[in-house]
Amino acid sequence: MLQPIKLANKNFLSSLDTTSEEIFHILDIAKNFKNKNLNIELKDKVLGLIFDKASTRTRVSFQVAMSKLGCTTVDLNPTTSQIGRGEPIRDTARVLSRYCDILAIRTFKQSDLEEYARWSSKPVINALTDLEHPCQALADYMTIQEEFVDFKNVVLTFIGDGNNVANSLILCGALLGVEVRIASPKGYEPNSLVIKKAYEIYKNKDLLKITNDPNSAVLGANVLYTDVWSSMGEENQKERKDRDFDGFTLDSDLLDKAAGNAIVLHCLPAYRGKEISKEVFESHRNRIFEQAENRLHVQQALLTLLLS
């Protein structure tokens, strides 16, 4: 039976907290959980969830993953706990790590997540920040692996905002050696530090392309991926972003330019008629919901490897 090997880093704050070998191991464990070839009971462990932003998939997949491991969760609502009243992160982290065995945090600033990790004696997982969504990227690459088996000849094109999801796809893609192309409107490119770090990791620098032209970026691509134009916390920029992202809808015209075997991914929630057309979404919904299901399996794998 496949033996889980603990991750070297205590925390999972960024895709860069794992090595390429560790990502392959997480995906392997996740696949075995999905196929019901692996049964692990961690017993009595408690995951604390602190979500400063809304969530359906991440929150529920963490809760169900813990339950499948024979463990439990505590869901802290910032508005009804002292977090919303401004109790310092360093105090919250020191208290919660005496009650919980691991924390999953969804918040705005990456630096706040890092502050939790600094003061917590227990592992901290990034459940999405403005900068990264590394758990999502694990499920995405699991879904890609299910389709293409290995990553060698895969071209992943992300069309849209150079946001948290794009940043984690870049970093995880760099570690896995996947060709990643990002097509964003001018001014909405991914984080420059993320791009710099990714180029340091890629052995072949040609494998990462950042462009403002979605039409050339999709040529021959095997995976087309998009995400909302206005992320959580950007609600007041919606009108401007809707205008700026004109021409970046993942529709059948773009899809026709991709490789014949191209698959479509979306982290969800999706806004049909904005970042993706209704037709493209509905004709690729099976894999998009498989991708959502994979959130559960990678979460279960990640928790196992951080807690064992």
* Catalytic (active-site) positions: 106, 133, 136, 227, 267, 295
Interface residues with ligand CP (CB under 6 A)? 55-58, 128, 136, 267-268
Cβ-based neighbours of 246, under 8 Å, separated by 6 or more:
none
Among 97, 157, 164, 277, binds ligand NVA (CB under 6 A): 164
- Give the whole-angstrom CA distance, residue 93 versus residue 191: 28
Interaction of residue 169 with ligand NVA, rule CB under 6 A: no
- At residue 284, φ and ψ (nearest 5 deg) are -120, 15
Nearer to ligand CP, 207 or 301 (CB): 301
46 binds, among ligand NVA, ligand CP, none (CB under 5 to 8 A by kind): none
Residue located via tokens 């192309």: 181
Among 26, 228, 301, 307, binds ligand NVA (CB under 6 A): 228
Burial class (CB in 10 A: 0-12, 13-18, 19+), 64: middle
* Helix residue ranges per DSSP H, the chain: 20-34, 57-68, 89-99, 110-119, 134-148, 164-176, 192-201, 214-217, 238-244, 252-257, 278-283, 285-307
241 binds, among ligand CP, ligand NVA, none (CB under 5 to 8 A by kind): none
- At residue 295, φ and ψ (nearest 5 deg) are -55, -40
Among 52, 132, 140, 227, binds ligand NVA (CB under 6 A): 227
Nearer to ligand CP, 58 or 249 (CB): 58
CB closest to ligand NVA, residue no: 231
- Give the whole-angstrom CA distance, residue 37 versus residue 29: 9
Nearer to ligand CP, 55 or 308 (CB): 55
Nearer to ligand CP, 40 or 166 (CB): 166
Q: Using an 8 Å Cβ cutoff, are 9 and 17 in contact?
A: yes
Least Å from the CB of residue 230 to ligand NVA: 8
Among 18, 163, 249, 299, binds ligand NVA (CB under 6 A): 163
Nearer to ligand CP, 97 or 143 (CB): 143
Interaction of residue 143 with ligand NVA, rule CB under 6 A: no
Cβ-based neighbours of 164, under 8 Å, separated by 6 or more:
128, 129, 130, 131, 132, 133, 231
Residues that bind ligand NVA (CB under 6 A): 128, 163-165, 227-228, 231-232, 267
